[in-house]
Structure 1
Amino acid sequence: MKMFVEPADIYLYMDIVDIRKSINGLIVVVEQDMNLKPFRDALFVFCNKKRDKVKILYWDKTGFALWYKRLEKHRFKWPVDANLKQMHMSEQQLQWLLSGYDVIGHQPLHYNASGL
């Protein structure tokens, strides 16, 4: 995902969120549920209950921006861990998530000439 910022950190909120929340509502989730500062150099990634919509909140030094993606037929492979409230992830893991791959335990595909 190309953005106007290159964040130092990416945080995935593990629980579901009401996707109708806009910037102010998601800032409250970052501050109260994630115990993080929303003005930091980071992306905050949220998903709805059906796992077909994602919102990404970030501060771009002049204001907050909100990125939104809705899948038409599939669901995001959202990681689940009852012990974690949030997950720190790499930019590559975010790319995998947005492309439909499982972020946890994702292994790249390797092909050889014989097709095996």
Structure 2
Amino acid sequence: MPAPAEAQLRDGALRPSHGAMRQLDDALKVYAHRDAADFRKRINGLAAIVKQSMKLHPFVRTVYVFSNQRHDRITVALLRVRLSPP
């Protein structure tokens, strides 16, 4: 039996077993970072990994997946730029 927070992929939707569902856009790209990421870096550190290690632009509409050292947890990031009003 899967752990309560484990996600399962069915019918093109990512469905965590606790009932929430997120539908991914067909045009949305998903990249997985192969090396372990330090989750203490927060969003700025993950954006730096995307830019420096993955050689991608972190603020385009793309999903980035990171795992920890033991590869038993993941972080999924959709990085966006918020522009302040003029």
Q: Same fold (TM over 0.5)?
A: yes
CA RMSD after TM alignment: 2.4
Which of 29, 42, 67 is equivalent to 2:49?
A: 29
**Are 2:16 and 1:12 equivalent residues in the alignment?**
no
Q: 1:51 is matched with which residue?
A: 71
- Is the radius of gyration larger for structure 1 or structure 2? 1
Shift of 1:41: 1.5
TM-score (norm 2): 0.61
**Which ranges of 4 or more aligned residues in structure 1 deviate by more than 6 Å?**
none
Shift of 1:3: 3.5
Q: Which structure dedicates a bigger proportion of its chain to strand?
A: 2
| 1:22 match: secondary structure | helix
Deviations 1:31-83 (A, max 9, x none): 000010111121000001111110111135648xxxxxxxxxxxxxxxxxxxx
Aligned-residue sequence identity (percent) comes to 30
Structure 2 residues not aligned, in runs of 5+:
1-13, 15-20
| 1:43 match: secondary structure | strand
Aligned length: 63
- Comparing both chains, which one has the higher relative contact order based on Cα–Cα distances under 8 Å and sequence gaps of 6 or more? 1
Structure 1 residues not aligned, in runs of 5+:
64-116
Equivalent pair of 1:5/1:60 in contact (CA under 8 Å): no
TM-score (norm 1): 0.47
